[in-house]
């Protein structure tokens, strides 16, 4: 039986999963890697760590699966993270600048007069989140980089491009439409790199990779890596891969993934919906040359707030401890946490904001902080949910499909259903990001069925129905909104809005 290797390169770890032809998990390998914080608000990864952990976990997963024949590789990756490397040697010129990084906030502010052009072409807002201003920063700050880029000596890529370059021994400099759509440099209507925006940012177009469909030929691996040449046939950014893995193929279907951050995508079909509520218009996937669009809301800190409880405050040893702590919290205390550690994402887009906690008393302790941390994820999701309802009226009737690490927490998912006042569905297969990448590769390889048949295989693990009464729901959400306004007002040059 043929197998598919799914590479899932995330913000805090790299994973490799071997699926069989029926898309059942056969083996898994995972490895964390260091995070680098050279200045407040700056986040970097060592490109060598990204590649080394991917190569090691892929080999390990194949070995654990009994070294089956791998018919295809699918790749999914942390999006917007920006790399620049030498085409001749493959050596990076700088650490990767991670999607969470906020160093280009001033540059984004200076570019504000061009917001309408950028929004119209790319569907994105001017924010340090996206790759374009990160790439400009690298060209501005790495000595000689822009001249070398103009001479065609350098390559830019998001993480998928960097991995494919290494997997193919430098033979393929490619990306897919979903990752290209997150760079701030790609016209999502015309499906091409935008010369005018590249000129605006002084980015030589010789740097840019070739853009392909999500299910396509991205090259073959070096034979020495995995004992033979394996075709790379599927690529999608992590949130789009999760959308595919959740089988959200019909307009109006919505999923929310809870990893380091939280990202909600609403399928809008062939229609590009221009958000009136500061959501992003993006590419959900591109198959057979046909583009499906989505509205997206991006939250920068979701699972990362649990990591902060563990690594920063050291009040837990592992993530699973947060649920019993939250259950034990004093119900009389109303502690609210706004985890704007790297700014506020959608629908606020305030990169200058930083985290805040409200409502502390002398009796507040680890249990109350754990509950506030988990609740913050639900509150932020409601912010996105309401914005999507305003932009796409049918969104309010949709059932939210959830996945990611935090989706395993029954307490968190019940609170999410309560604060939304809507059902939340958790699938039996929660590794939907890796599953989506595997499906795309399998589709291209002829191993997997067409989307409609694949959607019929989606299976429910549990539906969480709202139990909170409307008055309590409104009271709690109003408390969250007050906390967000106060957080914005406390930021440098901030004012409540």
Is residue 495 pLDDT above 60, yes or no?
A: no
Calculate mean pLDDT across residues 354-371: 90
Is residue 330 pLDDT above 60, yes or no?
A: yes
Calculate mean pLDDT across residues 105-120: 92
User: 13 labelled as ligand-binding?
Assistant: yes
Between 173 and 403, whose confidence is greater? Answer: 173
* Per-residue H/E/C for the chain: CCEEEEEEECCCEEEEEEEECCCCEEEEEEEECCCECCCCCCCEECHHHHHHHHHHHHHHHHHHCCCCCEEEEEEEECCCCEEEEECCCCCECCCEECCCCCCCHHHHHHCHHHHHHHHHHHCCCCCCCCHHHHHHHHHHHCCCHHHHHHCCCEEEECHHHHHHHHHCCCCCCEEEHHHHCCCCCEECCCCEECHHHHHHCCCCHHHCCEEECCECCCCECCHHHHCCCCEEEEEEEHHHHHHHHCCCCCCCCEEEEECCCEEEEEEEECCCCCCCCCCEEEEEEEECCEEEEEEEEEECCCHHHHHHHHHHCCCCCCHHHHHHHHHHCCCCCCCEEECCECEECCCCCECCCCCEEECCCCCCCHHHHHHHHHHHHHHHHHHHHHHHHHHCHHHHHCCEEEECHHHHCHHHHHHHHHHHCCCEEEECCCCHHHHHHHHHHHHHHCCCCCHHHHHCCCCEEEEECCCCCHHHHHHHHHHHHHHHHHHHHHCCCCCCC
User: 131 labelled as ligand-binding?
Assistant: no
User: 298 labelled as ligand-binding?
Assistant: no
Per-residue confidence band for 1, with pLDDT thresholds at 50, 70 and 90: low
User: 234 labelled as ligand-binding?
Assistant: no
Name every residue whose Cβ is closer than 8 Å to that of residue 67 and which is 6 or more positions away in sequence.
227
User: 79 labelled as ligand-binding?
Assistant: yes
User: 95 labelled as ligand-binding?
Assistant: no
User: 152 labelled as ligand-binding?
Assistant: no
- pLDDT tens-place string over residues 219-238: 999 999 998 899 999 999 99
Calculate mean pLDDT across residues 327-353: 87
The pTM of the full predicted model, rounded to 2 decimals, is 0.85
Is residue 397 pLDDT above 70, yes or no?
A: no
In this prediction, residue 179 carries a pLDDT of 97
Calculate mean pLDDT across residues 285-301: 91
Residue ranges of domains in the chain, CATH in brackets: 3-212 (3.30.420.40)
In this prediction, residue 223 carries a pLDDT of 93
Residue 476 sits at φ, ψ, to 5 deg, of -65, -40
In this prediction, residue 351 carries a pLDDT of 79
Burial of 269 (0-12, 13-18, 19+ CB in 10 A): middle
Mean pLDDT check: name the lowest of 124-128, 214-218, 440-444: 124-128
User: 11 labelled as ligand-binding?
Assistant: yes
Burial of 240 (0-12, 13-18, 19+ CB in 10 A): buried
User: 2 labelled as ligand-binding?
Assistant: no
Mean pLDDT check: name the lowest of 79-88, 391-400, 439-448, 449-458: 391-400
Between 137 and 327, whose confidence is greater? Answer: 137
Cβ–Cβ contacts within 10 Å for residue 406, how many?
23
User: 257 labelled as ligand-binding?
Assistant: no
Is residue 123 pLDDT above 60, yes or no?
A: yes
- What percent of the chain has pLDDT above 90? 64
In this prediction, residue 496 carries a pLDDT of 37
User: 238 labelled as ligand-binding?
Assistant: yes
User: 239 labelled as ligand-binding?
Assistant: yes
In this prediction, residue 41 carries a pLDDT of 84
In terms of DSSP bridges, do strands 254-258 and 400-403 run parallel, antiparallel, or are they unpaired? parallel
- pLDDT tens-place string over residues 39-93: 988 999 999 999 999 999 999 999 998 888 899 999 999 999 999 999 999 999 9
User: 192 labelled as ligand-binding?
Assistant: no
Is residue 258 pLDDT above 80, yes or no?
A: yes
- pLDDT tens-place string over residues 184-205: 999 999 999 999 999 999 999 9
Q: Check: CB of residue 99 under 8 Å from CB of residue 11.
A: yes
């Amino acid at each position: 039986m043929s197998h598919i290797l799914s590479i899932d390169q995330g913000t805090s770890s790299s994973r490799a999963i071997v699926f069989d032809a029926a898309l059942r998990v056969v083996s898994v390998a995972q490895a964390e890697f260091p995070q680098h914080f050279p200045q407040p608000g700056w986040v970097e990864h060592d490109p060598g760590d990204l590649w080394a952990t991917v190569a090691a976990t892929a080999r390990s997963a194949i070995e654990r699966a009994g070294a089956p024949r791998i018919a295809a590789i699918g790749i999914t990756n942390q999006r917007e993270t920006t790399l620049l490397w030498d085409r001749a040697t493959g050596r990076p010129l700088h650490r990767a600048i991670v999607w969470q990084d906020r160093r280009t906030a001033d540059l984004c502010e200076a570019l504000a007069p061009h917001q309408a052009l950028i929004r119209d072409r790319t569907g994105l807002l001017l924010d340090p989140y996206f790759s374009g201003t990160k790439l400009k920063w690298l060209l501005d700050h790495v000595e000689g980089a822009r001249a070398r880029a103009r001479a065609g000596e350098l390559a830019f890529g998001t993480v998928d491009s960097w991995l494919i370059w290494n997997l193919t021994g430098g033979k393929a400099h490619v990306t897919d439409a979903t990752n290209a759509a997150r760079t701030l440099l790609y016209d999502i209507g015309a499906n091409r790199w935008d010369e005018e925006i590249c000129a605006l940012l002084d980015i030589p177009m010789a740097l840019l990779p070739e853009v392909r469909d999500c299910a396509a030929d991205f090259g073959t691996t070096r034979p020495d890596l995995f004992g033979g040449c394996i075709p790379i046939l599927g690529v999608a950014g992590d949130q789009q891969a999760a959308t595919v893995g959740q089988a959200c193929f019909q307009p109006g279907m919505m999923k929310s993934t809870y990893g380091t951050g939280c990202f909600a995508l609403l399928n809008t079909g062939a229609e590009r919906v221009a958000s009136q509520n500061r959501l992003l218009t993006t590419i959900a996937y591109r198959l057979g040359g046909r583009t499906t669009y989505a509205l997206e809301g991006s939250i920068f800190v979701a699972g990362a707030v649990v990591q902060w409880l563990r690594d920063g405050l050291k009040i837990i040893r592992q993530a699973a401890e947060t649920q019993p702590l939250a259950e034990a919290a004093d119900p009389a205390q109303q502690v609210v946490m706004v985890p704007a550690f790297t700014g506020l994402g959608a629908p606020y887009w305030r990169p200058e904001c930083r985290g805040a906690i409200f409502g502390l008393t002398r009796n507040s302790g680890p249990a109350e902080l754990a509950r506030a941390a988990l609740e913050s994820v639900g509150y932020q999701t409601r912010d996105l949910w309401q914005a999507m309802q305003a932009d796409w009226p049918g969104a309010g009737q949709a059932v939210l499909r959830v996945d990611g690490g935090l989706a395993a927490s029954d307490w968190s998912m019940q609170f999410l259903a309560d604060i939304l006042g809507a059902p939340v569905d958790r699938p039996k297969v929660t590794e939907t990001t890796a599953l989506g990448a595997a499906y795309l590769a399998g589709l291209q390889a002829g191993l997997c069925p067409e989307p409609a048949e694949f959607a019929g295989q989606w299976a429910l693990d549990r539906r969480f129905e709202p139990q909170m009464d409307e008055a309590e729901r409104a009271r709690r959400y109003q408390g969250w909104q007050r906390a967000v306004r106060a957080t914005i007002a406390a930021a440098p040059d901030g004012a409540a809005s």
